[in-house]
């Protein structure tokens, strides 16, 4: 399907929007909500028993290693509250080792934001992003609070008013692995997460070296899908995921929030929403029955955002299904007809 430039994003805001508290996501609830905590324990048990028995030692080793950067320097395991590890909002380099010791003083001046935007995209691609778009940052997509799963701290997020742009990057996932077993799909997912931490932290450091603020973000700090739609990377599908013209939903998303003056991209229209009305493949293939038949702007679980007309996904059912298998799932990516072979 051909992408057309649209004057405004194709999603429908029909109710009152409130910034979402990260504490309400299913992943955060694994730390404080007893009903979801149980699922986390079941997940770990199934992982130790079912997955280890079903798959070879090499397959498990490959899968676990692909998550290594994400789970360590990428702070995914347990933290995911932002501003930590490779996702730190300040450079981790010692001041005397960084390119310039007084960046504020040496801020790059007098440049054309449109040219700079093109440059940023080339740099992001060089660091490993497959698709890059720039959006004017809509505060509604920034979490109201960050949640630290290890400490239980739920601190308000307040960004500098100068941080006006989101550079959104899509990292494609391996097509063959997404199509094979759940463990192989999780290997592709893990590599995507590790590449996210790499690409976003390097791009942020590049921008800091020009003298500007840059906040690299993975799953933390803001909702990636609406940001990606605003940045012209694709549209929302029935499966609750961003559908890109190039790879369909087979991408991971990360972003860098910055005060570097940039020119935003226009959103695009692919006709996804109309296509999804009749397609229903994700709905029919999701064994957890987590994908909705009809669109609504109401939340269907404690972990949904209300106010936007969309096919809601029941994240509790989705995560319950993972916990039974002991591994995450990518079936709603695999079966989507927009997920084409390259
Ligand atoms: C928590 C989470 C989950 C939870 C479920 C969400 C929940 N309710 O808690 C669990 C762990 C179950 C999960 C499952 C999956 N996830 Co997930 N998840 C997230 C995470 C970390 C936070 C999202 C969130 O806060 N959701 C809570 C509320 C807001 O959920 P919601 O109301 O249902 O809204 C969803 C969508 O409607 C959309 N959305 C929210 N607000 C708005 C506003 C507008 C205007 C629009 C258009 C859309 C939109 O984003 C939300 C995604 O959960 C994001 C990263 C991020 N920061 O965005 C990744 C993320 C959305 N997941 C992703 C993926 C790929 C998956 C899985 C396929 C697993 C996998 N193999 O990776 C499944 C798919 C499930 C599905 N069909 O949606 C990708 C999506 C990439 C893409 N192509 O869009 C993301 C961006 C992670 C990443 N790094 O790339 N996920
Ligand atoms: S990840 Fe699997 S369980 Fe979750 S919504 Fe997609 S198909 Fe259903
Ligand atoms: S599988 Fe079909 S219904 Fe589901 S998101 Fe893809 S195109 Fe839409």
DSSP track, 176-243: HHHHS-HHHHHHHHHHHHHHHHHHHHHHHHHHHHTT--EEEESSSSB-HHHHHHHTTS-EE-TTSSEE
In a domain, 8, yes or no: yes
The 10 Å Cβ neighbour count of residue 200 is: 30
Give the mean pLDDT of the chain.
Answer: 94
Question: Is there an atom of ligand 2 within 6 Å of 332 CB?
Answer: yes
- Helices and strands per DSSP (H, E), number in the chain: 13, 12
Name the residue of 313, 314, 327, 330 to mutate for ligand 1: max ligand atoms within 8 A of Cβ: 313
Q: Which two tokens stand for residue 197?
A: 């931490």
Q: Provide mean pLDDT across the span 74-95.
A: 87
Regarding predicted confidence, which is higher, 104 or 258? 258
The protein residue whose alpha carbon is closest to atom 7 in ligand 3 is 276
- 338's CB contacts (< 8 A; 6+ apart) are 1, 237, 243, 244, 248, 249, 272
215: which 2 tokens? 């906040």
Residues facing residue 69 across a β-bridge:
none
Query: 339 in a domain, yes or no?
Result: no
Does residue 212 belong to any structural domain of this protein? Answer: yes
Q: How many structural domains does the chain have?
A: 1
Q: What does the alpha-carbon distance between residue 260 and residue 28 come to, in Å, rounded to a whole number?
A: 31
Give the domain extent around 57: 4-334
Q: What is the pLDDT of residues 290-329, one digit of tens each?
A: 999 999 999 999 999 999 999 999 999 999 999 999 999 9
Q: Is residue 171 part of a domain?
A: yes
Looking at the domain assignment, is residue 230 inside a domain? yes
pLDDT given for residue 198 in this prediction: 97
Closest residue by Cα to residue 228 from 88, 142, 132: 132
- Whether 282 lines ligand 3, by a CB cut-off of 6 Å, is yes
Coil/strand/helix, residue 24: helix
8-state DSSP, 339: -
Q: Among 214, 202, 177, which Cα is nearest to 192's?
A: 177
* 340 within some domain: no
Q: Is residue 173 part of a domain?
A: yes
Read off the pLDDT of residues 108-133 as tens digits, 9 standing for 90 and up: 999 999 999 999 999 999 999 999 99
C-alpha–C-alpha distance, residues 221 and 183, integer Å:
28
Q: Which atom of ligand 1 is nearest to the CA of 304?
A: 32
Residues 6+ apart with CB under 8 A from 181: 55
Which ligand 1 atom is at minimum distance from the Cα of 328?
71
């Amino acid at each position: 399907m051909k992408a057309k430039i649209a004057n405004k994003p194709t999603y429908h805001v029909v109710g009152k929007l409130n910034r979402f508290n990260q504490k309400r996501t299913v992943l955060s609830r694994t730390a404080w909500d007893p009903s979801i905590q149980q699922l986390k324990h079941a997940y770990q048990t199934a992982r130790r028993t079912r997955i280890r028995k079903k798959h070879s030692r090499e397959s498990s080793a490959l899968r676990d290693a692909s998550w290594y950067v994400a789970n360590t320097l990428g702070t995914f395991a347990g933290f995911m509250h932002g501003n930590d590890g490779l996702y730190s909002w300040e450079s981790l380099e010692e001041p005397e080792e960084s390119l310039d010791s007084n960046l504020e003083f040496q801020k790059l001046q007098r440049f054309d934001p449109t040219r700079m935007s093109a440059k940023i995209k080339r740099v992001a691609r060089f660091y490993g992003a497959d698709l890059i778009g720039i959006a004017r940052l809509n505060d509604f997509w920034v979490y109201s609070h960050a949640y630290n799963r290890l400490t239980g701290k739920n601190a308000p997020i307040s960004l500098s008013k100068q941080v006006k742009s989101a550079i959104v990057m899509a990292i494609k996932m391996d097509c063959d692995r997404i199509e094979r077993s759940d463990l192989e799909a999780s290997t592709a997912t893990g590599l995507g997460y590790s590449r996210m931490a790499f690409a976003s932290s390097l791009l942020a450091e590049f921008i800091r070296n020009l003298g500007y603020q840059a906040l690299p973000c993975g799953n933390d700090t803001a909702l990636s899908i609406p940001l990606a739609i605003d940045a012209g990377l694709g549209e929302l599908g029935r499966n609750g995921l961003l559908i890109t013209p190039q790879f369909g939903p087979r991408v991971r998303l990360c972003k860098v929030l910055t005060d570097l003056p940039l020119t935003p991209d226009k959103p695009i229209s692919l006709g996804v929403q109309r296509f999804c009305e009749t397609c229903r493949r994700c709905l029919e293939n999701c064994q957890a029955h987590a994908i909705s038949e009809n669109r609504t702007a109401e939340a269907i679980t404690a972990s949904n955002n209300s106010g936007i007309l969309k096919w809601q996904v029941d994240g509790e059912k989705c995560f319950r299904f993972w916990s039974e298998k002991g591994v995450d799932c990518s079936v709603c990516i695999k079966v989507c007809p927009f997920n084409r072979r390259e």
